Amino acid sequence: MTRTLSGPARRLTVVVGESDVVGHRPLYGELVHRAHTAGLAGASVFRGIEGFGASRQIHTSRLLSLSEDLPVSVVIVDTADRIEAFLPQVVELVGEGLVTVEDVEVVHHAGRSDA
């Protein structure tokens, strides 16, 4: 079933390391899979090219200092109640990382007509 969003919503952003795993699956993939299973409106993963977090260690994709643990952001947008209901799963999964929630306004949300 295709569901579209419009108006007030909430954006959940989770920033973790690319090498973080849950079992044998990358953490970012597990978050996307669980968001899909929970029926959330959408999720995207963005790979960073450089960054640091609470550990203060800089991770970069520059050739001379290749990193195996680049920053990865998972962004999920849905209604406030759906994001709040999903948060306990996120907090349970994320050991090291950053989890933020922001109010947003959805201006346009549409899927492919052939999907």
Residue 111 counted as domain residue: no
Are 51 and 71 in contact, with CB atoms under 8 Å apart? yes
Strands 50-51 and 43-47 turn out to be: unpaired
Confidence bin at 69 (pLDDT 50/70/90): confident
Could you tell me if residue 3 is inside a domain? no
Average pLDDT taken over every residue of the chain: 87
pLDDT value for 65:
52
Residue 78 placed within a domain = yes
> pLDDT by residue (tens digit) across 13-24?
999 999 999 999
What tens digit of pLDDT does each residue of 7-57 get? 899 999 999 999 999 999 999 999 999 999 999 999 999 998 777 777 676
Q: What's the predicted TM-score (pTM) here?
A: 0.85
Tally the domains of the chain. Answer: 1
Give pLDDT, residue 79.
Answer: 96
Q: Do the domain assignments include residue 40?
A: yes
The alpha carbon dihedral of 59, 61, 63, 68 has a sign of: positive
Does residue 6 sit within a domain?
no
Summarize pLDDT for 81-91 with one digit per residue, the tens: 999 999 999 99
Residue 55 lies in a domain: yes
Q: Which residues contact 51 (CB under 8 A, 6 or more apart)?
A: 15, 58, 59, 70, 71
Residue range 66-72: mean pLDDT, rounded: 74
Could you tell me whether strands 7-17 and 50-51 are parallel, antiparallel, or unpaired per DSSP bridges? Answer: unpaired
Assigned domain for 46 exists: yes
- Per the listing, tokens 């929630």 go with 101
- Whether residue 114 is contained in a domain is answered as no
| Alpha-helix runs per DSSP H in 43-100 | 80-93
Q: What is the CA radius of gyration of the chain?
A: 15
CATH of the domain at 80: 3.30.70.120
Structural domain for 38, as ranges: 12-106
Residues 6+ apart with CB under 8 A from 56: none
